[in-house]
């Protein structure tokens, strides 16, 4: 079964700092990759996703992620964070075959301080 690892449990950054959140998955086949964000007290919202084509994916709110197949990674980046980016970030993966469930990582809490 596939699994997703997010190595950073809690990241604290100052406003305007650059962000990179790590995500690695364990599955050798074709996958679909997602980043979701959960703002405090709210539901999950899709930031971006990859399923084919350009491995550098741009999402909403200035976020981007790069799929590196050889490293089984899909790291999330943002060049300059804002206080409003404070949230929980979840990487998720599903196999591109059949009705396989979306498997989430354990999440990374991002705290942006002024």
Partner 1 sequence: DTAVSQTPKYLVTQMGNDKSIKCEQNLGHDTMYWYKQDSKKFLKIMFSYNNKELIINETVPNRFSPKSPDKAHLNLHINSLELGDSAVYFCASSQGGTTAGNTIYFGEGSWLTVV
Using the rule CB under 8 A, which residue among 2, 5, 8, 32 binds partner 1? 32
Q: With 0-12 CB in 10 A as exposed, 13-18 as middle and 19+ as buried, what is 44?
A: middle
* Max CA separation in the chain (angstroms): 45
Asked if 97 interacts with partner 1 (CB under 8 A), we say: yes
The piece of 12-20, 34-42, 61-69, 76-84 that touches partner 1 (CB under 8 A) is: 34-42
The piece of 14-22, 47-55, 64-72, 77-85 that touches partner 1 (CB under 8 A) is: 47-55
Asked if 98 interacts with partner 1 (CB under 8 A), we say: yes
Q: Find all residues with CB under 8 Å of 110, minimum gap 6, and list them.
A: 11, 12, 13, 19, 21, 81, 85, 86, 87, 88, 89
Number of residues that bind partner 1 (CB under 8 A): 29
Using the rule CB under 8 A, which residue among 43, 54, 70, 114 binds partner 1? 43
Q: Contact positions toward partner 1, by CB under 8 A?
A: 32, 34, 36, 38, 42-46, 49-52, 88, 90, 94-104, 106-107, 109
């Amino acid at each position: 079964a596939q699994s997703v690892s997010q190595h950073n449990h809690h990241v604290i950054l100052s406003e305007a700092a650059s962000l990179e959140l790590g995500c690695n998955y364990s599955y050798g086949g074709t996958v679909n990759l997602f980043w979701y964000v959960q703002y405090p007290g709210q539901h999950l919202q899709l930031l971006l996703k990859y399923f084919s084509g350009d491995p550098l994916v741009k999402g909403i709110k200035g976020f981007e992620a790069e799929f590196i197949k050889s490293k089984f990674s899909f790291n999330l980046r943002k060049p300059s964070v804002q206080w409003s980016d404070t949230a929980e970030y979840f990487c998720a993966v599903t196999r591109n075959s059949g009705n396989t469930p979306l498997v989430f990582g354990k999440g990374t809490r991002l705290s942006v301080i002024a």
